[in-house]
Structures are given as structure tokens and as C-alpha cells.
Amino acid sequence: MRVMGNHRPPLISAGLGATCLLLASTLAISVMTAHRKPTALARSLATINRQIMGFNAVDNPPVTESVLRQLRPTSYLSRTYWKGGLAADLFIAFYAQQRAGESMHSPKHCLPGDGWEIWDYSRVEIPVNGRKAKVNRDFISREGKRMVVLYWYQSQGRIIASEYFGKVLLARDALLQNSTAAAIVRIAVPDEPGAAEEASALAAAVIPELWRCFGNRQTETPPSGAALRSSCPALAHSLQKVIN
């Protein structure tokens, strides 16, 4: 039997450590938000422009009561933006306060539950006021129909693609800013030539529109690894491999 020095296998894998810390952050959110008041938008979602980047919007039919009971948003916006023959479906759900078990639903879980197969996914950079924000891009299909879906999580001055990173920052915001208000934004277009690029252009215009609803005009990129380590070092260390 060969002994390799004093090297020992890690007792806890990075994935398990991230999961445990994620559960800890969820518990922290629950405790810290128990007595906090919801944060209202400065402007209604309905004030988002209907004419954007050559697109013209029409309102979608109201979301059904059964879906609203599942999503439980404070408010929402559902429109179709048309540009020529291209229809881009925009849905924004805003949450004035998030508690454990009541946070935003991820399309990563909701789409397969609705019969859609996510056959490819990535993250793309969206230019916003001279900076770049990463958002999720999923290619999905169901019964021969193929779509491209962009989605991200947006709060006052922040764009987040990663659900894991979002949980960490949500706990930090609850502690430091006394707020857990945020929105999930989804844009869906048919999977056809040029549609994904048009969806990205629409996303670049919607992001600052939503920030105005939050009451701020400044764009910020997510905190760097160094900034995250300084505020929550254990979480940063364990989540570094799953953020991207």
C-alpha cells in the first residue's frame, strides 16, 4: 500500500459546500426579512416604453389566477413587442419582498415543468450604457416549436444571471440595505435567423427602463470576487465554481 504524504481527500466537495451555504443563506433571508417592510417601485412597470429599438408593444392577456398564485409577484408586466414579423414576448415579475420559499421562479425549472426541453444554454453579454451585463440564454423546444429565451434577475443597480449568486447577494442586501426587492425579466423569441440578436437589443433597452422603475439610473456590474469575499468570504469561496 502506497502512502502519498499527508494529502487527504476533501471532506466536503465544493458542490456540497455550495449547497449547504445556499441553504444557510436561505435561512438567513427568512430570518432577516421576517419583520421588514416591502420596497415599492418608484414607477409602475406599465411606464416602460412601448416603442423600443424599432419594436412596438401590445399588451398580452392577463395572467391567469392559477399562474399568479404560483408566481405570487407584487406586480407584473406582460407584453409582446413587434418588429416587422418578429414577436418578442416580454414578461417581468417584480417582488417587493422575498422570503424563503417565496422567491422568484427560475425558468430553468419552470420551462421543463411546462413541457419545454432546454437543449442548449449559455450566457451572453448585453451592452448597457457603456457596460456589459451577463444574462442567461436558453434554446428550448416543444412539439416541434423552437424558441430562444433570455432571462435575468434585476434589482436596483444590479443584473444577475446566476441563481446561486443571486441568493448570496439577496442575503447580503437584506442585511446591508434592508431590502430584498428584485424582478425577474424574460424575453422569448422564435428560434429563427436574427431573432436572438434582436432579443439582445431589446434586452439592452429594457434594462435601463426597469432601472428607472426601481428609481435609479446608474448601472452597476455585479460585485467582483474580491468584493464578495470581503462581505461573505465563506460563500464566495465555495460558490466561485458555480457562479459562472
Indicate the SS3 state at residue 78: strand
Domain membership flag for residue 2: no
Domain membership flag for residue 5: no
Per-residue pLDDT at 204 = 96
- Of the chain, the percentage scoring pLDDT greater than 70 comes to 67
Give Rg (Cα) of the chain.
Answer: 19
CA–CA gap between residue 2 and residue 4 (Å, rounded): 6
Contacts of 71 (CB under 8 A, 6+ apart): 63, 93, 105
Domain membership flag for residue 79: yes
**pLDDT surpassing 60 at residue 178:** yes
Instruction: Count other Cβ atoms within 10 Å, centred on residue 28.
Output: 19
Domain membership flag for residue 128: yes
CA–CA gap between residue 244 and residue 235 (Å, rounded): 15
Domain membership flag for residue 161: yes
CA distances from 138 to 73, 119, 230 (A): 23, 8, 32
Condensed to tens digits (0 to 9), the pLDDT of residues 133-159 reads 999 999 999 999 999 999 999 988 789
- The total number of residues written for the chain in this structure: 244
Looking at residues 72-85, what average pLDDT do you find? Answer: 95
Looking at residues 105-119, what average pLDDT do you find? Answer: 84
**pLDDT surpassing 90 at residue 2:** no
Domains identified in the chain, total number: 1
